[in-house]
Amino acid sequence: MINPLAKLVPGLLEGKPEKKPTRDGFGNGTVEAGKENPNVVVLSADLGDSTRAAWFQKEFPDRYVEVGVAEQNLATVAAGMANEGKIPFIASYAAFSPGRNWEQIRTTIALNNMPVKVCGMHAGIQTGPDGATHQMLEDIALMRAMPNMMVMVPGDAEEGKKCAVAAARLNHPVYIRYGRASEPVFTTPETPFEIGKALNLWESKNPKVAIFTTGSIAYQALSAAKTLAEEGIDVVVTHFHTVKPIDREAIITAAKDIGKIITLEEHQTMGGFGSAVAEVVSEEYPAQVIRMGIQDEFGQSGEADELMEYYKLTAPHIVAKVKSVAGV
């Protein structure tokens, strides 16, 4: 059953959930952070509308900086502004930032330890018809390996807002990954949110498998959990909005108590969230970890839901994987 302490949207799995892109959370979150702290600024690389940076621009035109189609400039101008006490959020598509400007982020933001918040939009396969060039599937791996850098992957627009607000309060670099497609909003303002702390979304008495998720794929896991429950198969679904630092305790507990873990992410299975989980499990309490995600290949054009189906990341595929892992 849905964990009542998670305070998810009531009746979530019965009706049709409201859908919003997680990037809306960036727009709302930066506006809220901007009200809270006058040093918050937003920099955009000619993608203000689609990244939702324009929402901040509308509220705070004097604190919005257009840098042009120049992602290296985006990162480095922000680093310079942070030098002077600003809290810059930089917004572009994840394929370009941190895709193109990774070295600038490494040297001028992470090594410099500047409180720049790198916000990569249109990450994941659900970027859809734009195709492989724009479907960033390696950003978690890129950013996770960088010292000083925190990595957050919100599950929905509501959590995306919380991530932005929380990041603005931190005096160090943060990467936040957002998506393009409209996806179910399953959390509420009351849903607990603590950086570095995973949240059980679904619990059951005698779980055979722990499903670990990051990003919006959490909703697919919840749907799968419901189907499995109807067939008498118990699982837990644990959502990690923070990939770094990762909640080691939650991982170790599942490894000990349940013994089988499936990880879900809209990202390459190499180097991403699943790898982060496997690292902890192999060092602390060896157990089986099955990583679902993109298996070392590029994406392609298609509608978001078609692609999720093609790459076997929808609820029915999760159900099938749980059954095979659980041996039922």
Partner 1 sequence: MALTDETLQALEDKAREIRITVLRMLNAAKSGHTSGPLGMADIFTALYFHSAKHDSKNPDWAARDRIVLSNGHITPIRYATMAHAGYFPIEECLTLRKLGSRLQGHPEREKLPGLESTSGPLGSGLSQAAGMAYALRMDKNNARVFCLTSDGEQQEGNTWEGAMFAGKYRLYNLIQIMDRNNIQIEGNTEDIMPLEPLADKYRAFNWHVIEIDGHNMRDIIDAIDEAKAVREKPTLILARTIPGKGVKDIEYDYKWHGKPPSDEELVRFIEQVEATKNV
* Listed ranges 6-14, 79-87, 219-227, 256-264: which one lies at the site for partner 1 (CB under 8 A): 79-87
Tokens of 1: 């059953």
**Residue (172 or 248) nearer to partner 1, CB:** 172
Taking CB under 8 A as the rule, does residue 253 contact partner 1? no
Answer yes or no whether residue 313 interacts with partner 1 by CB under 8 A.
no
Site for partner 1 in 18-57 (CB under 8 A): 41
Distances (CA, A) of 140 to 101, 162, 266, 322: 14, 19, 10, 24
Which of 74/276 has CB closer to partner 1? Answer: 74
Measured CA to CA, the distance from residue 132 to residue 136 in angstroms comes to: 8
The Cα–Cα gap between 271 and 294 comes to 11
Among 54, 70, 270, 325, which residue sits at the site for partner 1 (rule: CB under 8 A)? 70
Which among 241, 192, 243 is positioned nearest to 218, based on CA atoms?
Answer: 241
Place of tokens 């790459």: 311
Residues 119-148 that bind partner 1 (CB under 8 A): none
- Nearest-angstrom CA–CA distance, 4 and 17: 18
Residue owning tokens 């009200």: 35
Q: Which residue has the tokens 């900086």?
A: 65
Nearer to partner 1, 14 or 62 (CB): 62
Residue 190 among the catalytic residues: no
| Number of Cβ atoms within 10 Å of the Cβ of 260 | 20
Which one among 3, 37, 112, 314 touches partner 1, defined by CB under 8 A?
112
Tokens of 27: 């727009």
Among 76, 92, 127, 238, binds partner 1 (CB under 8 A): 76
Asked if omega into 98 is within 30° of 0 (cis), the reply is: yes
Q: What region does 233 belong to: left with phi over 0, alpha with psi -120 to 50, or beta?
A: beta
Provide CB contacts within 8 A for 17, sequence distance 6+: 9, 184, 185, 186, 219
CA distances from 78 to 41, 116, 158, 260, 284 (A): 9, 7, 26, 43, 39
Binding of partner 1 by 87 (CB under 8 A): no
Q: In angstroms, what is the minimal distance from the CB of 172 to partner 1? A: 11
Which of 14, 18, 71, 158 is labelled catalytic?
71
Q: In whole angstroms, how close is the CB of 78 to partner 1 at the nearest point?
A: 6
Q: Residue 209: which residues within 8 A CB-CB, separation 6 or more?
A: 235, 258, 260, 261, 262, 322, 325, 326
- Stretches 71-79, 121-129, 152-160, 300-308: which one binds partner 1 (CB under 8 A)? 71-79
Nearer to partner 1, 104 or 187 (CB): 104
Among 18, 36, 49, 103, binds partner 1 (CB under 8 A): 103
Q: Which residue has the tokens 């399953």?
A: 186
With respect to partner 1, which residue has the nearer C-beta, 79 or 218?
79
Write down the least CB distance from residue 68 to partner 1, Å.
7
220 lies in the site for partner 1, by CB under 8 A: no
Sole window of 80-88, 127-135, 169-177, 207-215 interacting with partner 1 (rule: CB under 8 A): 80-88
- Contact residue for partner 1 among 78, 185, 225, 287 (CB under 8 A): 78
Choose between 108 and 214: whose C-beta lies nearer to partner 1: 108
Supply the minimum distance, in Å, between the C-beta of residue 87 and partner 1.
11
The contact set with partner 1 (CB under 8 A) reads 41, 62-63, 65, 67-68, 70, 72-73, 76-86, 103-104, 107-108, 111-113
Catalytic residues: 71
